[in-house]
Amino acid sequence: MSRREPDALLRRAIRIAQHPRHPLYLFTLTASELLRVADVSRVSRDQGGALLGYQRPEVKRHVRSITEYLDGPQVLFPNSIILALSSSTLFKQVRGPKVDSGIGEAGTLRIPLPRPGQSKPAWIVDGQQRALALSQCRRQDFPVPVNAFVADEVDLQRDQFLRVNNTKPLPRGLITELLPEVSSLLPSNLAARRAPAALCDLLNRDPDSPFRGLIRRASLDADSRHSAVVTDTAIVKMLQESLSSPNGALFPYRNIASGETDFESVRKLLLMYWKAVRDIFPEAWGRPPTRSRLMHGAGLCAMGRLMDKVMGSIDLHGARAPQVVRTELARIRPICRWTDGNWEELGGLAWNEVQNTPQHIRLLSSALIRAYLNNRRTSA
């Protein structure tokens, strides 16, 4: 007679009541149990474009170095794995004296084990590289400290993921893509980037946007990356400058006190300006930065600063506004060397020698704005 497989893991745990709806548990799993109950929620998008998950791809070299350490003779591994547990996980408090310290409650945690085809009851919020290394190490009975909170909501998991990694070198593109999906109050350094991140997402997905499908996101699959020639960090930097500077074209549409942004007006301004950029420089639009410095970080930032000069006097609701913007941008076309030649205004710098450095961005911005204002002055 075959022995029946258990349908759940039982673990002694401490429950800490920090949040009324999301209890926190401290317990231990073995290396073999960790990925048996916990999944890695990779960042991606579904067919409708909705964002899924939040974790970056694994870093194989990092995983390998952790595995080598775990296979060593003397191992101390105090760093805990942080999990988000499904509400299907149950906790039963131990009854008796001295089981409640007033801070934490002792008890037993019941974590259901998934059957083939079923979803796992937990997701790794922090420690995916460590978890993968543990699954590959020789000692599968190695005990691992775990901190876990109950949360079925993906947005709460993303929120905690960003907070845990706020001081760690996460890829900027991953943070940029996750920020618009997090609705809770964020640390000031992340909150300031939420509006630019949301606008970056809008530019990449709006059917009327000249940037549609051109912005490289962390969630893109390998096939989509070939046509995505613009880095999202370059777009976010351009947007953040314009939103935060009192001289920025986007600044009037943001309420600094409340943090609210008039996205509809900002959308109209951005689409009008960048469509005009595409129309004035069609030979440089949509090409990789190695073939067009217009799509390069330096070019995008410099053209963003020119946007602040051009769009400040444009009536967005005027019938001739798009034509006026194209006329204004045509003023700089004679000096631009996006795909070949040398920038005379930059001392003869070759088009492909322009780099995404503060010095080159400053020089390029100055040259474009100076040419624009001089042309307007002489044609007035």
Query: Of 35-44, 48-57, 324-333, which one has max mean pLDDT?
Result: 324-333
Contact 308, 293 (CB under 8 A): no
Predicted confidence at residue 322, as pLDDT, reads 95
Q: How confident is the model at residue 44 (pLDDT cuts 50, 70, 90)?
A: very low
9-13 average pLDDT score: 91
Q: Is the pLDDT of residue 300 over 80?
A: yes
Predicted confidence at residue 142, as pLDDT, reads 92
For residues 51 and 331, the model is more confident at: 331
Q: Any residues with CB less than 8 A from the CB of 43 and at least 6 apart, and which? A: 51, 52, 53, 54, 55, 56, 174, 177, 178, 218, 219
Contact 303, 280 (CB under 8 A): no
Predicted confidence at residue 181, as pLDDT, reads 47
Whole-model pTM above 0.85?
Answer: no
Q: Any residues with CB less than 8 A from the CB of 116 and at least 6 apart, and which? A: none
A 10 A CB-CB count for 316 gives 12
Residue that is written with structure tokens 């400053």 in the block: 362
Q: Return the structure tokens found at 277.
A: 């950029």
Residue that is written with structure tokens 């949301």 in the block: 198
Q: Return the structure tokens found at 199.
A: 């606008």
Three-state secondary structure call for residue 89: coil
Predicted confidence at residue 271, as pLDDT, reads 94
Q: How far is CA 253 from CA 116, 189, 203, 246, in A?
A: 52, 20, 17, 11
Q: Return the structure tokens found at 89.
A: 């996980």
Predicted confidence at residue 377, as pLDDT, reads 86
Percent of residues, the chain, with pLDDT higher than 70 = 78
Residues written for the chain? 380
Q: How confident is the model at residue 3 (pLDDT cuts 50, 70, 90)?
A: low
At 55-83, the pLDDT tens digits run: 455 557 778 888 888 888 888 888 888 88
Q: Is the pLDDT of residue 370 over 60?
A: yes
Using only C-alpha atoms, what is the Rg of the chain?
Answer: 26
DSSP letter, residue 209: -
Predicted confidence at residue 172, as pLDDT, reads 54
Predicted confidence at residue 54, as pLDDT, reads 41
CA distance 287 to 97: 71
For residues 361 and 74, the model is more confident at: 361
- DSSP bridge partners of 100: 105
113-123 average pLDDT score: 84
CA distance 182 to 155: 6
At 156-215, the pLDDT tens digits run: 666 666 665 554 544 555 444 444 544 444 444 444 567 788 888 888 888 999 999 898
For residues 161 and 236, the model is more confident at: 236
Contact 344, 380 (CB under 8 A): no
Predicted confidence at residue 279, as pLDDT, reads 97
Q: Return the structure tokens found at 47.
A: 């067919």
Contact 85, 121 (CB under 8 A): yes
Predicted confidence at residue 259, as pLDDT, reads 66
DSSP letter, residue 42: B
Q: Is the pLDDT of residue 105 over 70?
A: yes
Which of 89, 82, 86, 83 lies closest to 152, judged by CA? Answer: 86
Predicted confidence at residue 254, as pLDDT, reads 81
What's the whole-number average pLDDT of the chain?
82
